Structure 1
Amino acid sequence: MRSTDPAEYEIDRINRRTYGDSRVVKEYGSVTGWLDPGERACFDYARAVGAHGPLLDIGVGGGRTVPMMRAFSSAYVGIDYTPALLRRAQENHPGVDLREMDARRLDFADGTFGLVSFSYNGIDSVGDTGRSQILREVHRVLEPGGLFCFSSLNHEGRSDRRLLRLPSSAEVLQPNLLLRWVRETLVSLRNMQQSRSLVRETEKTSLRPIAAHFCGLIGRYTSLSEQIGELEQHGFVVEACFDNVTGSPALGRVELEDVDCLHYVARKTA
């Protein structure tokens, strides 16, 4: 799906290029298990409240989430919009129903799924327009009362604002390591320059480079209060939210500066 919005199109171009890079595909294809305590807490909650029915796993990447999500439901479908990542997922999980599809245009009937998952801040890989499209589509394909579990970058967090790192003492002392650091830093600076026109910052959201993959991704950061409001506008109510650091509940907390991302459990209202 190609957006007619120039900014959305450019975000797509940058992020798809990075997701399709052979090094990223190799990395994502080798990761297994839960990413952090918050992700595990999110799905433990979903299981505790009786998540059931067919499950849609959006953004499967290299297939990390496939075995964990299939433990929730045998009626499982996984999708990703990056062909190279999807091929790796299919290699890692032969015979599983994995399809190339964009979350902004889901090819499923209304009310098909009881649970929809979108992990690893995948929803942040599009702009504001794309995010609204995803929330509308997820709401449409969920059955009444169904759950949407996803993670999103935290606008109030501070750690990911440090896009460039200083060389370590080992890198300073070893010319080959120092040269590699210089090369990686130059790549990051080039990527930051290419995405500079897309950067914006508001009180509750921001669109800016992500430090991972040499600043080769543009991510949408959202505050907890803003995300709750967006979900409510699209017909969801937030039942739970967990931080990525300790897996502790985040609803009602004031200080979230040490939290990189938040894991949400939202229910489709009847």
Structure 2
Amino acid sequence: MPALPDAPPARHVFNATTAGFETDVLQKSMQTPVLVDFWAPWCEPCKQLGPVLEKLAAEYHGSFQLAKVEVDQEPQLAEAFQVRSIPTVFLVKDGQIADGFPGVLPEGQIREFLKQHGVEPAQAPAAADDAAAPVPVDPQAEVARLRAAVAEAPDNAELRLDLALALLKTDQADEATGLLEGLPANLATDDRTVHARARLAFLALASTAPSLEELQQSVATDPDDLRARHLLGARHIVAGNPEAAMEQFIEMLARDRNFDGGLPRTALIDAFRITDDTALVGRYRRRMSSLLF
């Protein structure tokens, strides 16, 4: 049987290697989920599953990346993932294995598997000639618009989630919390909901924390006061200074990655989720990865 081609046949698909795994899969998964497919060219079930995964990777327009690992060429990766049979597929998110499945699943079940982990098809990118510059949206006007929309369709959970997100941009945390708590199960794990809850957590921390000046003094007096660093980071997030927040969380990770059940890493990931500056997030993701791996 001829081997599958070395060049991936679809967009958002790449061949993963042991040498590049940290950068290509672990670091990439901090921003975009990566589906890792362990396969071999002699494996008949792999030839059934592979094209389905590649088709979905193209249809999802970058909502996830598909990493192909040929087990005969990358035995170290297969051993690290404890692969006992092929095909075997793992979903990697935030630098860790989130879930997986062995064998061949129907396309519908794979879609459901992805949906359970918040991976939904993205909109196809517009052609460069058709792309228009986004018009800035007034946060208060957006809240008013969505309030009216929810009043007309109170059973529309998507609209309620949109309103909660808009409310958070205007610091109306209590109302946003109520809307988020009333979401159905299928939206409770949506990436937008996860991001909103991360911001709410920082808002709650900051609301009961000492002042910015007091926390800065605490950290200056005792650099190992990781609790004060965490609160200081929350204060910076709420004040609109994500870089200063990430710096505190990185310092926590460098001093004690296991503090309070892995709080430094969790705080960094939550900060990444609510920060729009992709270059800033990428820089701190790389710093986090260098400390963890």
Work out whether the TM-score is over 0.5.
no
Superposition TM-score, scaled by structure 2 size: 0.23
- Identify, as 1 or 2, the structure richer in helix: 2
The structure, 1 or 2, with the larger RCO (C-alpha pairs under 8 Å, 6+ apart) is 1
- Identify, as 1 or 2, the structure richer in strand: 1
Pick the structure with greater CA Rg.
2
